[in-house]
Amino acid sequence: MSYPYQIKSLEQYHEVYKKSVTQPEAFWAEIAEYFLWKKKWDKVLDWNFKEPKIQWFRGATLNITENCLDRHLQENGNTTAIIFEPNNPSEKSISLSYKELHFRVMQFANVLKNNCVKKGDRVLIYMGMIPELAIAVLACARLGAVHSVVFGGFSAQSISDRLHDAKAEFIITCDGAFRGEKIIPLKNVIDDALVNCDFVKKVIVVERTQTPVSMLKQRDLWWHEEIKKVELQGNPFCEAEEMNAEDILFILYTSGSTGKPKGVVHTCAGYMVWANYTFVNVFQYQKNQVYFCTADVGWITGHSYILYGPLSAGATTLMFEGIPTFPDAGRFWDIVDKHQVNILYTAPTAIRSLMSFGLAPLRNKNLSSLKVLGTVGEPINEEAWHWYDKNIGKEKCPIVDTWWQTETGGIMISNLAGITPAKPSYATLPLPGVQPILVDETGNEIVGNNVSGNLCMKFPWPGMLRTTYGDHERCRQTYFSTYENLYFTGDGCLRDADGNYRITGRVDDVLNVSGHRIGTAEVENAINMHNGVVESAVVGYPHDIKGQGIYAYVIFSGGLNDADLMRKDILQTVTRIIGAIAKPDKIQFVSGLPKTRSGKIMRRILRKIAEGETENLGDTTTLLDPNVVGDIKNGKI
Ligand code: WT7
């Protein structure tokens, strides 16, 4: 398989970039020709950022699974689509060819059909990283059901919130998930979530860990038993539903600066083209290469770069069930060695964490198959970049630093492996089709180079979000109202003398902890649920491994007899309300918070104190009670 739209030189990059800006519709129409459509589009793009209204390939119909599966069968049916590497290295890995994956997706789509799942229905997926997860996602897409995958680290409360928001009547889950030494009891969590979700009709459960579960009559079904029924029905085929280009493909919940996660909506055609085009170009994927993205399918990275991007490109994608440090910190390198991985895509957090184990875990690991390395999710510091380059890439693998967001659907700013130059800690240049712009606080464009500002996009791209589920106004407000006629990313950014972009981090109240996005307001809400808490304020602070850590200032009611016990209680509350990923790293009990006369918490001051700054706290004269600042500084932990 070759990709005619794969950019092969720096000159070509510049040429193609220019075309993407001057003739965007012609540019995308040409690329879209290489996909399988049931019906071609009438109009490539119709848009305004005011409402916003974004329509790509309007009038076209397709099914993304035909692009990810059916169209590969004839020439590449026996190519491995998915390599599954289990948590426990002594368990056998599994390979599924495109033919097998196609078969199993149709089979499970028939299970969903038997259980009355139809086009447009929302299906919540809460599973570990096993092949059935890929099959479940693709089976939904086959029928045109809208999947919403929830990461296995989220709590019952978070699942219940998402079920209500998406009005999802179907769930696919597992009895449990293996994660290092632990077993996460997924079905039990679902049961807790369902206590107040009686609209859920069916829960299909994969048996993976043999964790004891309670199966409710009528509602709960075993995956393997449902598959047996389909086998007995005898017809393995399942037609791919004809989807309009702008029908919803999936909802993925993500945090923002307000308390409630929002359902980012991606649609069928634009997302497909974007995931594929970015995968092929950024990683410079070549036929038969083995590609390993270490993310979880519960995040956008897993959607776009474990499943849809690679599979639509006919690639071999590796799914890893476990964690980088089990059974030891050499696990990634074992996997690279064992499966002859050519492309490795991971997070700076993982690199920094593995760095801290030194070089011993690399001993006797053959990494010579590696050709391309990538990072995603957060800024990568130069030290980690060089460690990755030297010890993993042996200074012969280009590293792509890919900047993008759940909302962008796929990679926006990145070097193209081996084609455009890398620069440590810079995402470098926008992909053709991406038109970044830096603006100041008032929305004026910051022109020229060697400048910094807030990162926006001035033109749509096929993979961008279309709305936030059930609340279009929220989408408009969050992304399209800060600056007129621009999509605002929420990131600060600088542009160097050569036009390279470097993302400097969020400028809103959103934290990036180990590459996971967490809203400070969400964590505050969770802390405030504890009945001893009067008020709290959460900020981020630099953390050596996680990038950012979570620092919580908490006002406690009544006497505080045992601060450590209270801290544990609060952590327990956060785990229960959101999930363990949102647990504060530090909790400081305070008697008051720095507030302005109008009652607004001055987070700027709290951030500085959390960062360890004690002197230059800026202007504190507008504070209602400037004395609290001294108390907080003295009590810093
Ligand atoms: C936020 C998006 C992109 C998928 C994983 C995270 C930060 C992402 C980079 C990078 C610096 C980055 C941004 C962005 N971010 N990639 N290469 N360099 N920062 O997706 O949860 O939607 O978070 O992650 O701050 O806004 P997400």
d(CA 468, ligand 1 centre) in Å? 18
Tell me the C-alpha to C-alpha distance, in Å, between residue 97 and each of 104, 216, 239, 448, 600: 11, 35, 20, 50, 57
Is residue 195, in this structure, part of any structural domain at all?
no
What integer pLDDT is reported at residue 159 of this predicted model? 97
Q: Which atom of ligand 1 is nearest to the CA of 489?
A: 26
**Residue 589 and residue 483 in one domain:** no
d(CA 349, ligand 1 centre) in Å? 12
Nearest CA to ligand 1 atom 20: 405
State which of 303, 404, 412 you would mutate to test the pocket of ligand 1, scoring each by most atoms of that ligand within 8 A of its C-beta. 404
Is residue 493, in this structure, part of any structural domain at all?
yes
* Cis peptide, bond prior to residue 327, ω within 30 of zero: yes
Question: Rounded to a whole number, what is the distance in angstroms from the first to the last CA of the chain?
Answer: 57
Q: Which atom of ligand 1 is nearest to the CA of 255?
A: 21
d(CA 461, ligand 1 centre) in Å? 17
Is residue 98, in this structure, part of any structural domain at all?
no
The conformational region for residue 472 under phi > 0 = left, psi -120 to 50 = alpha, else beta, is alpha
Domain total of the chain: 2
State which of 512, 520, 548 you would mutate to test the pocket of ligand 1, scoring each by most atoms of that ligand within 8 A of its C-beta. 512
Closest CA to 47 of 407, 486, 403: 486
**Residue 407 and residue 354 in one domain:** yes
Nearest CA to ligand 1 atom 7: 378
**Residue 364 and residue 286 in one domain:** yes
Nearest CA to ligand 1 atom 11: 379
What integer pLDDT is reported at residue 259 of this predicted model? 78
Q: Which atom of ligand 1 is nearest to the CA of 380?
A: 18
Q: Which amino acid is at 364?
A: N
Alpha helices, H only, 70-130? 71-76, 98-114
**Residue 527 and residue 488 in one domain:** no
State which of 151, 503, 506 you would mutate to test the pocket of ligand 1, scoring each by most atoms of that ligand within 8 A of its C-beta. 503
Q: Which domain-ending residue is among 481, 506, 531?
A: 506
Residue 194 is classified by DSSP as G
**Residue 523 and residue 501 in one domain:** no
Residues with CB under 6 A from ligand 1: 254, 299-301, 376-379, 401-406, 427, 489-491, 503, 506, 512, 515, 517
**Residue 484 and residue 526 in one domain:** no
Q: Which atom of ligand 1 is nearest to the CA of 300?
A: 4
The number of beta carbons lying within 10 Å of the beta carbon of residue 86 is 19
d(CA 509, ligand 1 centre) in Å? 14
**Residue 434 and residue 290 in one domain:** yes
Q: What is the CATH number of the domain that holds 564?
A: 3.30.300.30
Alpha helices, H only, 432-548? 472-475, 520-528
d(CA 350, ligand 1 centre) in Å? 15
Intervals of the chain under pLDDT 70: 1
d(CA 188, ligand 1 centre) in Å? 31
What integer pLDDT is reported at residue 624 of this predicted model? 84
Closest CA to 178 of 139, 207, 221: 207
**Residue 420 and residue 535 in one domain:** no
Q: Which residues span the domain enclosing 414?
A: 10-65+271-506
Q: Which residues contact 195 (CB under 8 A, 6 or more apart)?
A: 160
Contact 568, 148 (CB under 8 A): no
State which of 150, 380, 491 you would mutate to test the pocket of ligand 1, scoring each by most atoms of that ligand within 8 A of its C-beta. 491
Tell me the C-alpha to C-alpha distance, in Å, between residue 14 and each of 146, 262, 268, 414: 37, 36, 29, 14
Nearest CA to ligand 1 atom 2: 405
- β-partners of residue 502 are 494
**Residue 407 and residue 488 in one domain:** yes
Tell me the C-alpha to C-alpha distance, in Å, between residue 157 and each of 430, 520, 526, 537, 573: 38, 17, 11, 21, 11
Q: Which atom of ligand 1 is nearest to the CA of 401?
A: 17
Nearest CA to ligand 1 atom 24: 377
Is residue 216, in this structure, part of any structural domain at all?
no
Q: Which domain-ending residue is among 506, 531, 561?
A: 506
**Residue 279 and residue 403 in one domain:** yes
Q: Which atom of ligand 1 is nearest to the CA of 503?
A: 11
The number of beta carbons lying within 10 Å of the beta carbon of residue 576 is 17
d(CA 612, ligand 1 centre) in Å? 25
Secondary structure element (H or E) that encloses residue 80, with its range = strand 80-85
Q: Which atom of ligand 1 is nearest to the CA of 490?
A: 26
What integer pLDDT is reported at residue 598 of this predicted model? 85
Q: Which atom of ligand 1 is nearest to the CA of 404?
A: 3
d(CA 485, ligand 1 centre) in Å? 22
Nearest CA to ligand 1 atom 8: 377
What pTM does this model have? 0.97
**Residue 470 and residue 586 in one domain:** no
d(CA 262, ligand 1 centre) in Å? 16
d(CA 353, ligand 1 centre) in Å? 18
State which of 405, 423, 548 you would mutate to test the pocket of ligand 1, scoring each by most atoms of that ligand within 8 A of its C-beta. 405
Q: What is the CATH number of the domain that holds 390?
A: 3.40.50.12780
**Residue 495 and residue 476 in one domain:** yes
The dihedral over CA atoms of 507, 510, 516, 521, expressed in degrees to the nearest 10, equals 170
d(CA 282, ligand 1 centre) in Å? 16
Is residue 501, in this structure, part of any structural domain at all?
yes
Strand runs labelled E in 520-565:
533-543, 547-556
Is residue 94, in this structure, part of any structural domain at all?
no
What integer pLDDT is reported at residue 1 of this predicted model? 61
Nearest CA to ligand 1 atom 18: 379
User: Rounded to whole angstroms, how far apart are CA atoms 259 and 161?
Assistant: 12
Nearest CA to ligand 1 atom 23: 405
- β-partners of residue 423 are 426
* Cis peptide, bond prior to residue 542, ω within 30 of zero: no
d(CA 146, ligand 1 centre) in Å? 24
Q: Which atom of ligand 1 is nearest to the CA of 402?
A: 17
Is residue 439, in this structure, part of any structural domain at all?
yes
Give percent helix, percent strand, percent coil of the chain, each to the nearest 5. Answer: 35, 25, 40
Is residue 151, in this structure, part of any structural domain at all?
no
d(CA 546, ligand 1 centre) in Å? 13
Q: Which atom of ligand 1 is nearest to the CA of 505?
A: 25
Secondary structure element (H or E) that encloses residue 338, with its range = helix 331-339
Q: Which domain-ending residue is among 506, 541, 571?
A: 506
State which of 403, 426, 507, 514 you would mutate to test the pocket of ligand 1, scoring each by most atoms of that ligand within 8 A of its C-beta. 403
Q: Which residues contact 228 (CB under 8 A, 6 or more apart)?
A: none
CA 236: distance to chain centroid? 33
